[in-house]
Structure 1
């Protein structure tokens, strides 16, 4: 998260003049979040003093809060022209960062630091810009500088943890998140980030996770005033569609976007009317494709939870979907306000949110088996087939011939975050590589852009006797290039306990089978669910020995013959499977949402008046 310098401590004291009286009234309104009234008074000041740098800067901050990034930039740059100050550059950097211009943001923060070297917040936000530029080691250095200047900087600890995750330093990241929480127990963001990061641990216990999630929920509830009445009738939705809101920061090129796109195209607007509540202003080609599927699009960026809850209630939402969970750009604390009478978690997370104000978690029989209901405060609701529906890529990339035929050896692969490669995973994969002579392992991940991570990865495999020349290490790439990388792979290996989700489906799309391990909780079941939905359940191993056996068998001479024919036919099988049957999935989803609504109607009817 980016810290904004917009408090009065950074502003000059006001002398006794009419202009300054106006300015002080405007500042009070600004701090009370009465932005339109504050803007009016700021503009009155400019009519009197057109060159007033502080007012130009403050108008830029208001434009920033309204999401008007071009205007915000112009106002703050005008302030800098008249009276350069470190915190003007700082806030200009924040505007650039929010406008997805991290290189420009970094230059602004560097300029702020040049003017004020001990500006801890500027070092912190420079670290965020470095992260956006994939300069992870530079980001760590900036966050550490911020902490040297201000050891109790909770946000810098949180951001340091984020950067450490990108350098595959899970234990250090968990410690930094906990430091942030200790410094500011009321700080929700590191609590949410900690919960997400805990899923990467090799042996995370659902009970321990749930305890942590409920601590987050307690904090969120302390800040909320939950609604108990809504502007909707508690009656069956037969005369109009169910109004369903979707809160997400990922209605774009992201796994959430990929798994929702084809479904949105087939939702019957007579049964379900969709309203989007994106949590940030970032949009791309996928956003433009799906935007028309929503009857309204209300961005929550810059809105307080209370204001966002009021917006959702005013929109008459019957059922509100959280499509983020504890992932980046989530607005989970908003759900503690209960802006809709029925609230559901789907499809962006894979564990309990901890919030009992979220009524249901939507899944299927594989990710939500009967014996694991105690892992959730939400009520499990199971769709009849897969809980995900894969949207085939629009990229025109054909399936190629089996690489082993030309190479003379088998190439295994894993595309995804290196944090998923626990010590246990590396030990099992090393067994596979030792058993299959001359085989290679291709790892493709954004973290591999740094020499530090490459060296560390080679060392981890070397500890199991795997020579460096058996590893093919590639950094991440845009999706079209990334999909083409499957042309190098014969067999994908899904990690555990955090398996591949999107990468599993994409591997199948590219004709590459995926070996996965049967799990013990929602997250660990995801690849299992996808493979069942795609008709490829035979690739799910019961235990680690079975996992090694399946990988080795597929790489054998007889196995390679089967791989040749499977590679030719796997995309067709995928397209004809429930995993890609968007019309059927949309009907299943509509039915589930209406059934949830009817449960609510029944509860209301059974409650004494």
Structure 2
């Protein structure tokens, strides 16, 4: 009788056994076992590939092979292995679980859900399966269902790093941001901080009040440096200051995503002084991904590269500048940037705060978001654009602007289409003060995250605490079509911004659709973005610095429907003529700033000649 691969693979190779092997299987199994223990999965696969003929009909062999391929992000081949394993033995919960993992990585959420449910039908108390299933339910739109699975998972195991991280994510999606931060912190106080949880911690801190800014500065600096900073190399000079400047952009969002919409005009207008490289860190692509590929001479899909592989690969490109468009948002490669892959590394666009990474040299902002008096020491050097740090290209086929709905409704409709995580007690308090001053006014809220019933209950309760009745709050269903999404702005008279974490895309979309935006200007970058946008349209008065002036400006607009209508009709034109849409001027200022960052590098090179 043939000995199963499971017995052979899991035996203690440090002692002697009388097991009988065929051909040279003992050596290859030992090598696979050793590599598995050392997490060297490419070596595991190399050994297993040579053993396929020996264990063609062994379900456990194909499970281990599939799991190893998952670690190498070779998902399609892993799927074949796991399907073969299930064909041989459909009663093993692990195999169904890891098949679900593959489908999840490939964004095949319905297939992934079926696999996870199959695993749970065979073994009900599987914390990791439950945790992964919570993420799947959230991706499919059932945030409440996802929260229930996450709670079941964490109840079974309160110490596992992955479970803690996923639970934090689900809490945040459910509107419990402060609770989520507490769970992310659990993963940063361990001997080896979990990088994803550290980035999530720093990202979700942006949703707290400005009073809390800087409270954890020392911890953030220490944690980011110890987790991401592994600088083993530094290019000190360019080969020649007469050559084109090699500039790279790295992001997980080169697709239909707000970040890509802002970077597209830059890629389209880069001068011949620059040679452009794009590094796409996502397995997901769409029609917009293909469009961006046509704009640059060098495109690389890097999602499947390990940190060390990617570090070596980018260094070989001999870039002069690398611009990171993720910061601490999902899909970042800060562990690569922390190894120094270009002499100049810049934080831009995707993350409205410094990254705390020592190897991140600069952050690109503008004179309105970050005036000199707001400069904070011990961070990335600020590169200030003279008017705006954003290049905006309106979506093609934007709907026709309709007259403000107050003319038909007889009452003012406020609205916000921002991420509800940005809607906290401070924001609702100010909005409610305005709504109390404008009788019969209502507010419409729309976001994919508002699919969560708990989010809606939370926000409704915040308004109730401010004596705003629930019937004055309207939650709109999210839509996936761009035209329908933009057309929804025609149903509101005045857009109310969130603070301290402003909208960016939502502010511009509202203005594009003729909807004036009212914001409260703060002291940090994230609380001054809408002010910068409005000031570039000559609408500084819509970004007051005090709550009193915010309410007064809102009342003024609300009491004058004729002025509101005239303003609405002019906003798209004002936007089109603003610096936000003057791409050639923008790119000249932008490239001049980038060239300035290379001056110290060139001076250093000359001093060594």
TM, length-normalised to structure 1: 0.92
Contact kept, 8 Å, 1:264 with 1:586, in 2: the verdict is no
Does residue 447 (structure 1) correspond to residue 449 (structure 2)? The answer is: yes
Does residue 76 (structure 1) correspond to residue 82 (structure 2)? The answer is: yes
> Structure 2 vs 1, CA of residues 245 and 254 (structure 1 numbering), >3 Å: closer, same or farther?
same
Q: Which moved more, 1:122-131 or 1:339-348?
A: 122-131
Contact kept, 8 Å, 1:493 with 1:514, in 2: the verdict is yes
Alignment match of 1:365 (pick from 359, 364, 367): 367
Show the counterpart of 1:519: 522
Once the two structures are superposed, the pairs formed by residues 176-575 of structure 1 within 5 Å of their partners are 176-183=183-190, 185-221=192-228, 224-229=230-235, 233=238, 235-236=240-241, 238-239=242-243, 241-268=244-271, 270-374=272-376, 377-478=379-480, 479-557=482-560, 560-575=561-576
CA separation in 1, counterparts of 2:604 and 2:359? 15
> Structure 2 vs 1, CA of residues 258 and 210 (structure 1 numbering), >3 Å: closer, same or farther?
farther
CA separation in 1, counterparts of 2:30 and 2:478? 50
> Structure 2 vs 1, CA of residues 70 and 480 (structure 1 numbering), >3 Å: closer, same or farther?
farther
CA separation in 2, counterparts of 1:246 and 1:115? 45
Partner SS, residue 495 of structure 2? strand
Contact kept, 8 Å, 2:147 with 2:174, in 1: the verdict is no
CA separation in 2, counterparts of 1:33 and 1:383? 46
Alignment match of 1:24 (pick from 14, 26, 30): 30
Contact kept, 8 Å, 1:154 with 1:183, in 2: the verdict is no
Deviation (angstroms), 1:36: 5.7
Alignment match of 2:168 (pick from 161, 181, 189): 161
Does residue 133 (structure 1) correspond to residue 140 (structure 2)? The answer is: yes
CA separation in 2, counterparts of 1:32 and 1:280? 27
Partner SS, residue 584 of structure 2? helix
CA separation in 1, counterparts of 2:180 and 2:555? 35
CA separation in 1, counterparts of 2:516 and 2:225? 43
Deviation (angstroms), 1:30: 6.2
Deviation (angstroms), 1:216: 2.7
Contact kept, 8 Å, 1:206 with 1:375, in 2: the verdict is no
Contact kept, 8 Å, 1:248 with 1:322, in 2: the verdict is yes
How big is each residue's C-alpha offset from its partner over 1:229-255, in whole Å with a ceiling of 9 and x where there is no partner? 47x63542x23x211121211111222
Deviation (angstroms), 1:115: 2.1
Which consecutive unaligned segments of at least 5 residues does structure 1 have? 1-7
Deviation (angstroms), 1:119: 2.3
Contact kept, 8 Å, 1:275 with 1:294, in 2: the verdict is yes
Show the counterpart of 1:56: 62
Deviation (angstroms), 1:518: 1.3
CA separation in 1, counterparts of 2:264 and 2:98? 35
Which consecutive unaligned segments of at least 5 residues does structure 2 have? 1-5, 14-18
CA separation in 2, counterparts of 1:295 and 1:288? 13
CA separation in 1, counterparts of 2:599 and 2:552? 48
CA separation in 1, counterparts of 2:398 and 2:426? 37
Deviation (angstroms), 1:107: 1.6
* Aligned residues: CA RMSD: 2.4
Show the counterpart of 1:92: 99
Show the counterpart of 1:594: 595
How big is each residue's C-alpha offset from its partner over 1:80-139, in whole Å with a ceiling of 9 and x where there is no partner? 111232222121111101111122112212222222233222122112212222322222
CA separation in 2, counterparts of 1:57 and 1:354? 41
Partner SS, residue 134 of structure 1? coil
Deviation (angstroms), 1:603: 3.7
Contact kept, 8 Å, 1:449 with 1:474, in 2: the verdict is no
> Structure 2 vs 1, CA of residues 202 and 264 (structure 1 numbering), >3 Å: closer, same or farther?
same
Show the counterpart of 1:146: 153
> Structure 2 vs 1, CA of residues 153 and 36 (structure 1 numbering), >3 Å: closer, same or farther?
closer
Contact kept, 8 Å, 1:89 with 1:111, in 2: the verdict is yes
Contact kept, 8 Å, 1:351 with 1:376, in 2: the verdict is no
Show the counterpart of 1:4: none
Contact kept, 8 Å, 1:124 with 1:156, in 2: the verdict is yes
CA separation in 1, counterparts of 2:377 and 2:491? 39
> Structure 2 vs 1, CA of residues 545 and 79 (structure 1 numbering), >3 Å: closer, same or farther?
same
CA separation in 1, counterparts of 2:8 and 2:478? 41
Q: Which moved more, 1:574-583 or 1:19-28?
A: 19-28
How big is each residue's C-alpha offset from its partner over 1:174-214, in whole Å with a ceiling of 9 and x where there is no partner? 22112232355521221211111111112344322533431
Deviation (angstroms), 1:10: 12
CA separation in 2, counterparts of 1:451 and 1:206? 30
